[in-house]
Structure 1
Amino acid sequence: MTEDNDSTDGVRFTRRSLLAGLGTIGVAGAGAGLGTTALFSDGESFADNQLSAGALNLRVTVDNIAHSTTTVRDNTEISPKDTADGEAVTITVSDLKPGDWLVLEWNPEVIANPGYVRVTSVDEDFANTEGRTPDSETDTDAPGDLGDALLSTVWASYDDLSGGISRGDLEWLDPTTDKAETDLPAWERPDLDGVTDSGAHYTTMNEAHEVYRSGVLLRDESGEPLAVGTNSDAAWFYQLLELPIRVGNDVQGDEVSFTLRFDAEQTRNNATPFDGA
């Protein structure tokens, strides 16, 4: 259900109403021999009938729940009030240094009715901006280099991990941000290219955008569309942003900006959510 309302009006004849009509005809025929005509009549009504369409309300909260240093925590700003409910949320992380990391917790909630949720990285809002650097040998050609260096990896969980976690607590690596699609149970330290010892390949910001620009449907561990909301499992998604320690000077002063859009559709009578996305 995507905020569309639909209603159908109809008339139904019941067995009771048809028999009542026949009874009236029989009484009128019997009375005709007495020279009188008596038409029995009765009327009943059901007043104030209403048909109402159900509601579906998507709300998304995001919070910075873990970070490599207090400086990264203090340099991360989320507004307004960590909640997207009909308005945009802006996340600003400034002054990232090689080796810095933070974990964002995304919690989509579908209120009133369960729904399927799709996440899209808005194409026109994704940008790499080249920054100023004091090093004359550094690459200063546009676009910026941070999108090719900053790792953006997604884990999913049915457990709320916001009570203080580290990277080692992350599990259920989402295949959308694992280029090798390796069954990795938990976080491993990646090299400069985002590759781990087990062969997993964490995506960069640019690579993640290429996957999410056409929309990604949230799925459960078995790969089925995930029903989020009333009488269904809650879902928390953890996005690890990490700048590898040996990234070099090319990213100095560079910026990456992006917008994530969350959309919901009803689960009931919906065999192909978002037309099979």
Structure 2
Amino acid sequence: MNDDKIGLSRRKMLVGLGAVGVASAGAGIGTTAYFNDTETFEDNTLTAGSLDLFVHVDYSEDQGSYAQYSTEPGTFIDGNVMGGGDGEPLSIQVSDLKPGDSGEGEFCFSIVDNPAYMWMCGELIANAENGQSEPEMDDDDSLDEGELADAMQVTVSYCTPDGEKGDEIVSGSLAEVMLALQAGVPLSGDGDTGAALADRPAFEGVTEPFLDGEPNVAEQCVCFEWVVPTSVENEIQTDSVAFDFEFFAVQSRHNDGTHNPCVDETVVTAYDNDWKGQTLGNPTDGNVYTSVSFGQNQTVLSFAFADDGDGVDFLDTADYSSTNLPVAVDADADGTHDWQLIWQPNAGFPDAPFGYQPNNGGSYGATEALPAGFSAAKVGNTVVFGIPNSDINSTFRLLGYGSTGGEGPIAEVNVDPSLGPDFYSSANAIEFSD
């Protein structure tokens, strides 16, 4: 088709359009406005939602013929106080502790109005020697701190509201478990300890914390069990421990669950699968979350490796036989790293799989056991180091260099990873401050 067959020239088109315009104008004579209609929607409001966490507590302990104790039926924590309102924090004190004593607590959650990601946090407040009796002196020559936190064995696991145990979350000595809790332990709403950190199952919300006087709780609870083994001897006489733990609920909507409310600061570093142009035989993607928690007695460094779910795990020695994580620390932020803390399986360290190396003026010495007061643990895909506050300032620097031995990625915690790791100068390290 061409313009000739239409029979309308450009000039005729313009004239035609003009005629339409005149007709339209003529149609408007005698009117004062456009046709219109109005529908009104009045008294509109936007109301913010809420999230209120109630923790229902069922705790008991068994000290044989000496004492038995249980919390009152219906005990719950609202905010930080027992029963809400003007109550007091829930405080459980055990005296005259002896080998064979034990206790257990069940904590169930009512998250009112919104589903949420849950975290369990805690801190070992005191591990005191309190002097030594004559029998203890024969078994213990340490006067710096007590042995009770190392002697008590603790297991934290998922459980149902009726007390049926599920997957173990973390276990070990009280000192090891509280180290992990100070770094923050993410909880999964389906009780799966293998759930990924990001977008893990949330805990469902409820409309109200009680129904007909009974707790209205999420499907998953957390159980905390402790025991002083009968194999423990006089080294714990007169010793005492004090510890806190907390539960945090963070809304799951518009959130991926990776924010850790237990710690003071977090740096996120992506795995590097192209480190200086290397060809990798076994690459994988993910992030390492480096967190710092400043406690009353110790500073905790944690490195949580969150893999992409492809079945290859950064910290799994079955995937990477040479995987390791050295962490160089400039404890006083003066520009020079003072020592290294190392996690390296299969290395034969004196304190395997953890080690300590002092910086001897430009070279690191032989790997030693962790110094007195230092601690370390691996919980799932998280490596945690505890450092006495007397050995690290409130402002310090660190360099982390997670390596898989050449077959996989590296994860370097550094200001500018492209510069490469410098384990002596801390100019390019990440600085943290309380």
Q: What are the residue-to-residue correspondences of 1:208-247 with 2, within 5 Å?
A: 208-219=177-188, 220-221=191-192, 223-224=194-195, 225-230=200-205, 233-247=218-232
C-alpha distance 47-156 of structure 1, shift in aligned 2 (>3 A) = same
1:206 aligns with 2:175: yes
Alpha-carbon contact 1:160-1:236 (below 8 Å) kept? no
> 1:261 Cα shift?
1.9
Question: Do the aligned partners of 1:59 and 1:85 also contact (CA within 8 Å) in 2?
Answer: yes
Q: Which amino acid aligns with 2:46?
A: L
**Identity percentage over the alignment?**
31
For structure 1, which runs of at least 5 residues remain unmatched after alignment? 1-25, 162-169, 178-202
Q: Deviation of residue 243 (structure 1)? A: 0.4
Q: Which residue does 1:30 correspond to in 2?
A: 27
One of 171, 195, 198 as aligned partner of 2:165: 171
Q: Pick from 37, 49, 73: which aligns with 2:68? A: 73
CA deviation after TM superposition for structure 1 residue 38, in Å = 3.4
Question: How far did 1:147 drift?
Answer: 0.4
- CA deviation vs aligned residue, 1:198-257 (integer Å, no higher than 9, x gap): xxxxx1111111211110001223622342233795222211110011211121121111
Residue identity matched to 2:238: G
Match of 1:106 in 2: 107
The offset of 1:146, in angstroms, is 0.5
TM-score (norm 1): 0.65
Is 1:255 aligned to residue 240 of structure 2? yes
In structure 2, what residue type is equivalent to 1:129? A
Task: Give the 5 Å matches for 1:1-277.
Answer: 30=27, 32=29, 36-39=30-33, 42-65=37-60, 67=62, 69=64, 71-74=66-69, 82-87=75-80, 88-122=89-123, 126-135=125-134, 137-138=136-137, 139=140, 141-161=143-163, 171-177=165-171, 203-219=172-188, 220-221=191-192, 223-224=194-195, 225-230=200-205, 233-274=218-259
Whole-Å separation in 2 of the counterparts to 1:100 and 1:134: 20
Aligned 8 A contact 2:120 2:246 in 1: yes
Which runs of no fewer than 5 residues in structure 2 stay unpaired?
1-22, 81-88, 207-216, 261-288, 290-303, 305-434
Judging changes above 3 Å, is the alpha-carbon distance between structure 1 residues 222 and 148 closer, same or farther for their aligned structure 2 residues? closer
Residue by residue, what CA displacement relative to the aligned partner does 1:113-148 show, whole Å, maximum 9, x if unpaired?
1111101113xx521011245425523613111101
Tell me how far apart the structure 1 counterparts of residues 45 and 65 of structure 2 sit (CA, whole Å): 56
Indicate how the Cα distance of structure 1 residues 226 and 146 shifts in structure 2: closer, same or farther if over 3 A, else same: farther
Q: Could you say which structure has the greater relative contact order, defined with CA pairs below 8 angstroms and 6 or more residues apart? A: 1
Q: Which letter maps to 1:223?
A: G
Normalised to the residue count of structure 2, the TM-score between the two structures is: 0.43
C-alpha separation in 1, matches of 2:26 and 2:36: 15
Alpha carbons of 1:236 and 1:66: their partners in 2 closer, same or farther (altered >3 Å)?
farther
* Residue in 1 that maps onto 2:393: none
Distance 2:204 2:257 in 1: 18
Instruction: Tell me how far apart the structure 1 counterparts of residues 144 and 42 of structure 2 sit (CA, whole Å).
Output: 69
1 CA distance for matches of 2:135 and 2:65?
Answer: 31
Q: How many residues align?
A: 211
Cα root mean square deviation, aligned: 3.1
The alignment partner of 1:174 has SS state of: strand
Larger relative helix fraction: 1
Cα pair distance change 1:29/1:159, threshold 3 Å: farther
Larger strand share, 1 or 2: 2
Q: Secondary structure of 1:91's partner?
A: coil
Question: Aligned with 2:259: secondary structure?
Answer: helix
Contact 1:116 1:273 in 2 (8 A): no
